[in-house]
Structure 1
């Protein structure tokens, strides 16, 4: 059993082990979504450019509009409190369109690919 534990620990040490903070967005006063959507999107783009936003988006299904099921935002922060501070200035959070449940998350494994085509100056993320 000890050998298995040691091998598992060796595999874990080689992984990314990057702490991030996940905010599970729960629907609140969705009636305010249309009036605040542009401000929310501008805030998200600015957070992305500041390097705070790792990934974000709504949960969806075939029967509900985006946001009706909540969503998830992943931020780069030093603590859960710091993540809440960052997210507190999002207009959707400030105005009660969504509430947040913030949790620390370790990004361990996964991957993505980027294709850049010089001939037409396009890029595609997989």
Structure 2
């Protein structure tokens, strides 16, 4: 049993262990969504460019409009309160289109691949 525990400890210590903050976005006053969508998207793109936004998007299914089921945002922040402060500037949060619940999350494992084509200077996630 001790060998299994040591092995698990070694596996965990080799993983990324990157603290991030997950914001579960819950639907609020969705009637304001169309009016604020452009401002929300501009804010998200700016947060991404500042390096604050790791990933974000709406929950979807085959019968609901994007955003009507809420969504998820993952931000780089120093603390949960810092994450809430960053996200409070999002027009959707500021105007009550969504409410957020912030939780600390450790990014441990996973991966992604990127294809870069020099001939046309394009890149895409695989």
**Is TM-score (shorter-chain normalized) higher than 0.5?**
yes
Taking only aligned residues, the RMSD between alpha carbons, in angstroms, comes to 0.6
1:116: Cα distance to partner?
0.8
Residues 84-99 of structure 1 correspond to what in structure 2 (within 5 A)? 84-99=84-99
C-alpha separation between the residues in 2 aligned to 1:107 and 1:89? 24
Match of 1:25 in 2: 25
Number of residue pairs matched by the alignment = 126
Residue 64 of structure 1 corresponds to 64
> Any idea what SS the aligned residue of 2:109 has?
coil
Return the offset for 1:3.
1.3
Q: Which runs of 5+ in 2 are unaligned?
A: none
Match of 1:74?
74
1:6-46 Cα shifts (integer Å, max 9, x gaps): 10000000000000000000000000000000000000000
Q: Which moved more, 1:115-124 or 1:16-25?
A: 115-124
Where 1:35 maps in the other structure, the secondary structure is: helix
Specify every segment of 5 or more residues in structure 1 that has no aligned partner in the other structure, as ranges: none
**Number of the residue aligned with 2:13:** 13
Deviates further, 114-123 or 66-75 = 114-123
In 1, Cα distance between the equivalents of 2:66 and 2:120? Answer: 32
Could you say which residue in structure 2 is the equivalent of 1:116? Answer: 116
TM-score normalised according to structure 2 size: 0.98
Alpha-carbon offset, residue 82 of structure 1: 0.4
Q: Give the ranges of 4+ consecutive aligned residues of structure 1 lying more than 6 Å apart after TM superposition.
A: none
How many Å separate the matches in 2 of 1:5 and 1:120? Answer: 50
Give the structure-1-normalised TM-score: 0.98
CA distance in 2, matches of 1:112, 1:105: 18
